[in-house]
Amino acid sequence: MAALIAVLPGDGIGPEVTREAQRVLEVVGERHGLELTFEEALIGGAAIDAGHPPLPAETAELCARAAAVLLGAVGGPKWSDPGAAQRPEQGLLDLRATLGVYANLRPVRPHPALLAASPLRPELLADVDIMVVRELTGGIYFGRKTRSESVATDECRYAVEEIERIVRMAGRLAQTRQRRLVSVDKANVLETSRLWREVTTRVVAEEFPELTLEHMLVDAAAMHLLSRPASFDVIVTENMFGDILTDEASMLAGSMGLLPSASLGEDGRGLYEPIHGSAPDIAGQGIANPCATLLSAALLMRHSLDCEPAAREIEAAVSAVLDAGLRTADLARGGESVGTRAFGDAVLARL
């Protein structure tokens, strides 16, 4: 089987972390006879600087042809002037929308060797294994925006079908796990959340009767993620709540540099990216943590290339390197640290 992987390094530390993930994909792909080819393209601030829109047509066209997209990060202070005509983030949002990747899977599983890296007490973290399923192509991110001199608005909109399909995705995942689904909303205030709750209740009752479903308000969920994180199995939620809750959840794992994500649509194609941003403060220094992107490459093997053994090999290799005590600066807590490339080398050595 031959497969084309689109690589979009983007901004800040993006190029540093995607480089390591590509090396790992090359090695593991070859071992499993996958005949991977890689094509790089511009997105975000890098595209703007080259005189293109944040999602150049050429990039969109490459991604549409590819079996999967591996993305680093977009954005940075250089492009964040509120009055700017174009924003790097819009490139990522447009890409998610054009690929139709409505389901963003963000697994949160603290590594046993890193429990001390979390600000939470280790005993709260031991059994944490959460899958956050974030709706990715709807809600307030994609609603109509208006702006006058004195007023701005962002419309939050959800249609029944958008809720049904994300709940189905979460339901199928919950079936393979602990069968506990928590749907997070703000139904005491938002009309979209009331619809979300209604549709979720119906879909689970009709199609996933074996699951336990709990509805939780987003403010309470933010608290429970800290007070009893191990009680969660699968969380399904709308776009913005999922964005916020997963940054919070990254602190269970110990660093923003650890959490991968897979964004999936109806066909097998997917977009794979770390949940972290472009980290402009450390960009270009070769010290970024590549784990989140390496683990995103594992998800790419699992969900788009249907190669579960390759996914497990990558995950096991990253895990073994952490077990061996290698730490990038974000996790070194003042102790000895290795750079991005050295961490990647160690993972490759394991592989």
**Contact footprint for ligand IPM (CB under 6 A):** 74-75, 89, 92, 243, 275, 277
Sequential DSSP letters for 116-179: GGSSS-HHHHTT--EEEEEE-SSGGGTS-EEE-SS-EEE-----HHHHHHHHHHHHHHHHTTT-
How far is residue 335 from each of residues 71, 245, 291, 326, 329, measured CA to CA in Å? 30, 29, 18, 11, 8
Query: Considering CB distances under 5 to 8 angstroms, the limit depending on partner class, which of Mg ion, ligand IPM, none binds residue 199?
Result: none
When asked if residue 89 is in the footprint of Mg ion (CB under 5 A), the reply is no
**C-beta closer to ligand IPM: residue 74 or 169:** 74
* DSSP assignments along 41-108, one per residue: ---THHHHHTTS-SS-HHHHHHHHHSSEEEEEE---GGG--TT-S--HHHHHHHHHHHHT--EEEEEE
Q: Which of 158, 186, 272, 330 is flagged as catalytic?
A: 186
**Conformational region of residue 254, where left means phi above 0, alpha means psi within -120 to 50, and beta covers everything else:** left
Integer Cα distance of 160 and 347 in angstroms: 44
- Asked if residue 154 binds Mg ion (CB under 5 A), the reply is no
**CB closest to Mg ion, residue no:** 243
89/345 with CB nearer ligand IPM: 89
Interface with Mg ion includes 248 (CB under 5 A)? no
CB of 243 to Mg ion, least distance (A): 4
Which partner in ligand IPM, Mg ion, none is near 92 (CB below 5 to 8 A by kind)? ligand IPM
78 is catalytic: no
Closest approach of Cβ 247 to Mg ion, in Å?
6
Q: Can residue 39 be called a binding residue for Mg ion (CB under 5 A)? A: no
Asked if 272 is an active-site residue, the reply is no
- Residue 141 bears catalytic tag: yes
Catalytic residue among 94, 129, 154, 247: 247
**Which residues are identified as catalytic?**
141, 186, 219, 243, 247
Binding site for Mg ion (CB under 5 A): 243
